[in-house]
Structure 1
């Protein structure tokens, strides 16, 4: 049922409701590892996808996947940009971090901190 609900944009909330129901009531079947990707698929909120960008950017070789998820975000905000800038800076790709930073329409303190820390950690003190 969750797979069916998750595959149609108009029924995504139903997939989440059914998943929560499975967690709340011990008499229902327990979710297993096959269910989680379908539940995540139904979460089109930018918060979940930004968390995926962060997770991918933290694993070895995952920056390409992080960028793919970032590029697919329908609504990018200062948090998602900061997460991606931080990911680039973390692996030493300061050029892409700066490029992305310059694309941002809005910048806040955490974004500036991510860029400054990335530059200093990679020897760009000026």
Structure 2
């Protein structure tokens, strides 16, 4: 989502009632923001603003899926997966939106330098050859 699209969408959420929600764009690269609200803020409107800003923030970060080349199951291609974050168990799994299977470039660098995988030559090669960029509408 481009910055001008964000502003336009925020204006659509806004109506003529007094403002009790304030948005501050801290930086556009990396995309960071702050939301402040007083006790008179409309909670539904606050939730919409937060959801929109989180969507804008995620759309600025490229995400990647790591295909484990040569591994297939009856459920399809196998991808690098973890339950919640990269610091827990890492395993192969067919596409599953209940698992973390998309990663930022920083997360892939952290995995590449992780002591659990440092001595495994295949793992480094996997991170060089199996990377697929994920489109915004596919991201989890």
Normalised TM-score (structure 1):
0.26
Which of these two proteins has the greater Rg computed from alpha carbons? 2
Whose helix proportion is higher, 1 or 2?
1
Higher relative contact order, chain-length normalized (CA < 8 Å, sep 6+): 2
Whose strand proportion is higher, 1 or 2?
2
